[in-house]
Structures are given as C-alpha cells and as structure tokens.
Amino acid sequence: MREDGSLAFSPVLMFLHRDPRVSRSFLRLTTASGTTLTLTSSHLIFLLEGGLAPSATPTVEDALQHGGVVLAGRLESGDFLLVAGEGGVRLEKLVSVSHHVGAGVFAPLTAEGTVVVDGVVASCYAVIDSQAIAHWAFLPVRLYINLREAMLTLLRSVGGLAPPAKAQAPVYGTANTTADSVRWREGEVATNSLREGDAVHIHWYPRMLYTLASWLLPSHLVYS
C-alpha cells in the first residue's frame, strides 16, 4: 500500500523470518464482514482507533488523517482495520480479538514495507513500534538489492550474463501468520513444500536491528 492509501504491487525482497514448523501463540482478528487475519501480537498493523473515528462509518481518508500503525497486541474491538478489495482499500470494524496457538511463521519484506495478508493491510515489520523507524532501518537492504539488480541488468545488457530463468514472483506472503500457503504470481506453494534442508530462521539483519533497538530506543518503542 502506498502512502496515499492506494494499492500497488510491491516485490518481496527477502524473508525477515521464515519457519513453517515453529509453534507460536497468535492473535486472530475478525472484522464485521468476517474477514480474518492471524498474526503475532508483536506485528505492526494499520488501524484507525475507534475513539478517533469522526463518524460511525469512517473512510480511508479518515484513517490516513487520524489513524496510525500499532503493535497488534494493542488492538481492541471497535478499532477499524484497512481491508483490501477489488475496489481498493476500505475500513472494516474489528469485532473480535482472540488467541490461539498455531504453526508456521512467515514475515516477508516488500519494497513498500507493507503487505496484504488474507485481505488485510499490514506492515512488514514487527517488534519496533514505529513503521517509520523500521522502514528507515531497512533502507540499506533496499539500496543493496536495487544496486545488485542494476549491476545484473547491466551485465546482461552487455552479454556478460545469461538472462535469468523465469521465477515465481511473490504477490503477498503470510506475515507472521499461520496461513496455509504463500501465494505467488505463478501459482501457490504450500508452506509444507519447503524442503527439509531449507533454511528456517530469523534473518541476521533484523536480528541485529532488534538487538540495537533494545539498546538505543526508548523501552515503549520496543515490544517485550
């Protein structure tokens, strides 16, 4: 999602956390229409607090003006979430927040720093209670990947590198959720299709950032 609230494809740059086998405690969010999102309480999500809504039926513009991004564990029934549909983004009231234990954690990082999961607009980030700080902290990753792609494109243009094989381009992934699959542009790959030898871990870069954040940021900005 762009800053103006419009939806746009944003490529997945890397996985911050990927472990299809780990068992975790999750929150299950349900909106008035029945839309359901499952995620960890430390994950950031876009919202308009119910008490700040200017009317009983607030608009996306109201959310952009008065809303924000919070850790999912701070959500309450009556808040409004951003939900993506064929007509764009709309607001839906949160009617239920429940807890359950599930398996599988996937946290993709997109170029925009946002992701649509099960129809709900969420952040790619967790633990740090600030979308702006988290997105800024991953600037070196975006710069490195952009530079790498530019160099590869240059090498291919001068004939020094073979064209890449057609790859499956991620449309959206399950961001710290227990969804059964990660959806791809060329099809769907079930999480249990990961080979036994595939790496499952928290990437070293976010792990380093979270360590630095615990030292440098005020305690109220770091999930604990």
Asked whether 12 and 167 are in contact (CB, 8 A), the reply is: no
pLDDT tens digits for range 19-73: 888 888 999 999 999 999 999 999 999 999 988 888 888 988 889 888 999 999 9
Q: Which residues of 79-107 are buried (b: 16+ CB within 10 A; e: fewer)?
A: bbbbbbeeeebbbbbbeebeeeeeebbbb
Q: How far apart are CA 39 and CA 178, in angstroms?
A: 7
Report the pLDDT value the prediction gives residue 7, as an integer from 0 to 100.
86
pTM over 0.95: no
Report the pLDDT value the prediction gives residue 52, as an integer from 0 to 100.
85
pLDDT tens digits for range 81-120: 999 988 889 999 999 999 999 988 889 999 999 999 999 9
Statement: residue 174 has pLDDT above 60:
no
Q: Which residues of 46-55 are buried (b: 16+ CB within 10 A; e: fewer)?
A: bbbbeebbee
Q: How far apart are CA 74 and CA 87, in angstroms?
A: 29
Rounding to the nearest 10 degrees, give the CA dihedral for residues 5, 9, 11, 16: 40
Report the pLDDT value the prediction gives residue 85, as an integer from 0 to 100.
84
* Residue 167 pLDDT level (bands cut at 50, 70, 90): very low
pLDDT average, residue stretch 216-224: 91
Q: Which residue has the higher pLDDT, 65 or 192?
A: 65
pLDDT tens digits for range 117-150: 999 999 999 999 999 999 999 999 999 999 998 8
Q: How far apart are CA 117 and CA 94, in angstroms?
A: 16
Domains parsed from the chain with CATH numbers: 12-219 (2.170.16.10)
Give the chain's mean pLDDT.
82
